[in-house]
Chain A
Amino acid sequence: MGASAQENHGKLLDKKVASVQLKDVEGNRVNTAELGFDGPVIISFWATWCSPCKRELNTIHDVYPDWQDATGVNLVAVSIDDEKTKNSVPMYVNGKGWDYLVLMDPNGDFKRAMGVNNVPHTFLLDTEGNIVYSHNNYAPGDEHELYEELKKLVTK
């Protein structure tokens, strides 16, 4: 249902990433609709208090260099931590050695605009920035399905 419905949908309306002004983990301003990557992009919503989110991003971290070599993908990890836990984000990201672009969404503006109900929620974007797949959960093994979807974009 999902894929074909979304393709039909795509002809009338483009399902693109909403434009929201956020800051990255180093304080640089980023427009979410203009991420500036050439290849496909994974956008993953997470928080320091969300265990499955961290499991997902740590699992992908282990295979990220391989995924990048094979598909040219970039992962954008959007933290929805608010002011209470926001200061733990750079600590966690560096403590785990992540190589992702990490964006801060402390008041949930981007989360709301992307229709995210709860975290983890992961989106896959093709090279044109169209949302082609999303998944609202993480269980060990879900990364294989994400990678299969990612490979479809590259071999197209």
Chain B
Amino acid sequence: MKKLAICVFTVTISLAGFGQNKASITGNVESTFQYLNQDSLIGADQPAEKGLLNTYMNVFATYGGFKAGMRFESYLPRIQGYPNRFDGTGIGMRYVGYANDFVDVTVGSFYEQFGSGMALRAYEDRSLGYDSMLDGVRLIVRPTKGVTVKGVYGYQRLSFQSGKIVHSDGIVRGFDGEVNINSLFKKLGDKRLDVTLGGSFVSKYQKDNNEELILPENVGLYGGRADLAYRLKKSRLTLGGEYIIKEQDPSADNGYIYNYGHAALLNFGYTRKGLGVMVSAKSVDNMSYRSDRSKELTDLLINYLPAMNKTHTYNLVASLYPYATQPTGEIAYQAEILYTAKRKSWLGGKYGTSFNLNFSTAYKPLQHTSNINPLDSTGVAYEGRVFDQSDSLLWRDINFNIYKKFTKNLNVRLSYFNITLNNDVAKVTGDAHGYINTNVGVVEIGYKINNKHSLRLEIQGMLINKVQEDVTEIHGSDTTTTSHTLRNDKGNWITGLLEYNISPHWFFSVMDQYNIKGSIQSVAEVAGQPTGVHYYYVSCGYIREATRISVGYGRQREGLFCVGGVCRNVPASNGLTISFTHSF
């Protein structure tokens, strides 16, 4: 017994001395079940299987510096709205590796981002069914404080069929270096100005599989970035920028033209306690970069072009008319300010009041064609310049909100949004004409009944612009065409949400989203779609530490479901959803 104790003791000591961490296993599981009904009113279909089930489980292990992990995925079959080539059960991600302060090497699957991601970003977003991980080798070296060098080599994950990963046709290679000047040179260590510089080079190879065109098989992309921060007594100024150039990359996205592409990003920030300001600008031209030139939508993107607008959270604002970056070209700007008036001041009242204003806009870039002969042998279709915009508006969003806590138990947030979207270019709906313009108002009230019980109420209303449409009516042999004033797209909406929480275990919520049948018909209504429909949804959930079970039942509108500026189309549905998540 004593011997065993000593033995265990020695093993423990040696493990502890082996690395900073002992052995550890962590992971999580996520499972979503749907049972769907037929609902002809909203155009929701019942799948043949009736019941659908998605499940994921990650297990990650570390032992000293060694690491290994995998993710099992299961689609029996996939839930609604997911990419249609996900099926079966199997391993969707796996790796082994070793890491210490100097090196970090991974063989197998990995996620990675260079700079802002405009050169390379391999990432996952499970709620969207998006996963662009690389399968191959990654090496990260940190030779000295403030210096990081990365190299990646691999095939991208395209889909998951019959329980197996399906890879891209083309291979991806990338290198990135970053230096913090202040850490590198000791005497600059505590200067007010902090400077970080970085550079990336990425290359993809795909065989020329086109019989008519001579396509470049190796396509490079490269650029640099700089981040400056200046520390003042009580505030901080930051300025960051990245510029990326893409070589000739004829693809399905750009119509097989031989133009170079560019992406430029500028960020400015000013912060002090109680005040934050940020301004960003972006110029993108011909910048979609995929490991398979024939792919479209969200498939096999090597780089990530961040959309330059706020991610909204209220349902009507977030899901009806969202905006995603136009990878073929856009010039965009955003500015935002958040100010919190101090407690006990005139504006602040007893608990302080927050004011938030946000503005974003995007335009189509100008394409110069005067010196270009599109029929010559170069294949260059136009000339695109950095921050050279046309007057064709793609998107504009002006929004503000005020948050005030009135008493210990009562708080109110008032929000207003004015959103304009060019549906001819950044298409989000098939029923709208030209520009969609909406005004949305939201009142949100939180009320704490006591330490455990609380209520939250949201009332959201959306007014949409009117458009003129010619309607042709046939009476026997006569046809008459009259011009009608219609509400754009599906018309106006109102949403109510009531949430009841019992901390720390339970929540209950009821939501109704009503598509108002008004005196003026909507474009969708004239096209024969139903209006005056209630999209009700009830849900409840139980949470215990890292386990969460929720059950929801009701109708869900068809539309774009977006996370982080990446969107997927979700069909209308009516039914039961049960989800289970657990972390360990």
Contact of A13 among B25, B454, B501, B543 (CB under 8 A): B25
Complex Cα spacing A88 to B548, Å: 29
Question: Which A residues touch B251, using CB under 8 A?
Answer: none
Question: Which A residues touch B546, using CB under 8 A?
Answer: 2, 115, 121, 134-136
State which residues 117-152 of B face A: CB under 8 Å. Answer: 117, 121, 123-124, 146
B17 at the interface (CB under 8 A from A): no
Q: For chain B, what secondary structure do more than half of its interface residues adopt (helix, strand, loop), or is it mixed?
A: strand
Question: Which B residues touch A13, using CB under 8 A?
Answer: 22-25
B412 at the interface (CB under 8 A from A): no
Contact of A144 among B28, B113, B313, B503 (CB under 8 A): B503
A36 at the interface (CB under 8 A from B): no
**How close is A21's CB to chain B, nearest CB, in angstroms?**
8
Contact flags A142-153 to B (C-beta < 8 A → 1, else 0): 101100000000
Question: Which B residues touch A19, using CB under 8 A?
Answer: 20-21, 62, 99
Contact flags A28-50 to B (C-beta < 8 A → 1, else 0): 01000110000000000000111
Complex Cα spacing A95 to B277, Å: 8
Contact call B58/A112, Cβ cutoff below 8 A: yes
Question: Which A residues touch B236, using CB under 8 A?
Answer: 26, 90, 94
State which residues 106-130 of A face B: CB under 8 Å. Answer: 106-109, 112-118, 121
Contact call B501/A93, Cβ cutoff below 8 A: no
**How close is B243's CB to chain A, nearest CB, in angstroms?**
15
Contact flags A1-24 to B (C-beta < 8 A → 1, else 0): 010000000000111101100000
With A27-B227, A90-B278, A144-B451 already in contact, the answer to whether A2 and B24 are too (CB < 8 A) is no
State which residues 60-85 of A face B: CB under 8 Å. Answer: 62, 82-85
B272 at the interface (CB under 8 A from A): yes
Complex Cα spacing A114 to B340, Å: 32
**How close is B425's CB to chain A, nearest CB, in angstroms?**
20
Contact of B545 among A90, A96, A115, A135 (CB under 8 A): A135
Using C-beta atoms within 8 Å of the partner chain, give the interface range for chain B.
35 or more
Question: Which B residues touch A48, using CB under 8 A?
Answer: 311
Complex Cα spacing A63 to B582, Å: 29
**How close is A144's CB to chain B, nearest CB, in angstroms?**
6
Residue of A nearest to B334 (CB): A87
Contact call B273/A94, Cβ cutoff below 8 A: yes
Contact call A133/B306, Cβ cutoff below 8 A: no
B276 at the interface (CB under 8 A from A): yes
Question: Which B residues touch A118, using CB under 8 A?
Answer: 581
**Most chain A CB neighbours (cut-off 10 Å) among B146, B351, B504, B507:** B504
Contact call A84/B565, Cβ cutoff below 8 A: yes
Contact call B274/A94, Cβ cutoff below 8 A: yes
**How close is A120's CB to chain B, nearest CB, in angstroms?**
11
Question: Which B residues touch A97, using CB under 8 A?
Answer: 273-274, 340
B68 at the interface (CB under 8 A from A): no
**How close is B269's CB to chain A, nearest CB, in angstroms?**
6
**How close is A15's CB to chain B, nearest CB, in angstroms?**
7
Contact flags B260-276 to A (C-beta < 8 A → 1, else 0): 00000001010111111
B191 at the interface (CB under 8 A from A): no
Question: Which B residues touch A16, using CB under 8 A?
Answer: 21-22, 24
Q: Which 6 A-B pairs have the closest CB atoms?
A: A95-B338, A141-B503, A91-B276, A139-B501, A95-B276, A115-B28
Q: Can you report 17 residue pairs joining A to B where beta carbons are below 8 Å apart?
A: A13-B24, A14-B24, A51-B313, A82-B123, A84-B564, A85-B311, A91-B336, A93-B271, A94-B272, A95-B354, A107-B111, A107-B123, A113-B26, A115-B546, A117-B548, A134-B545, A136-B581
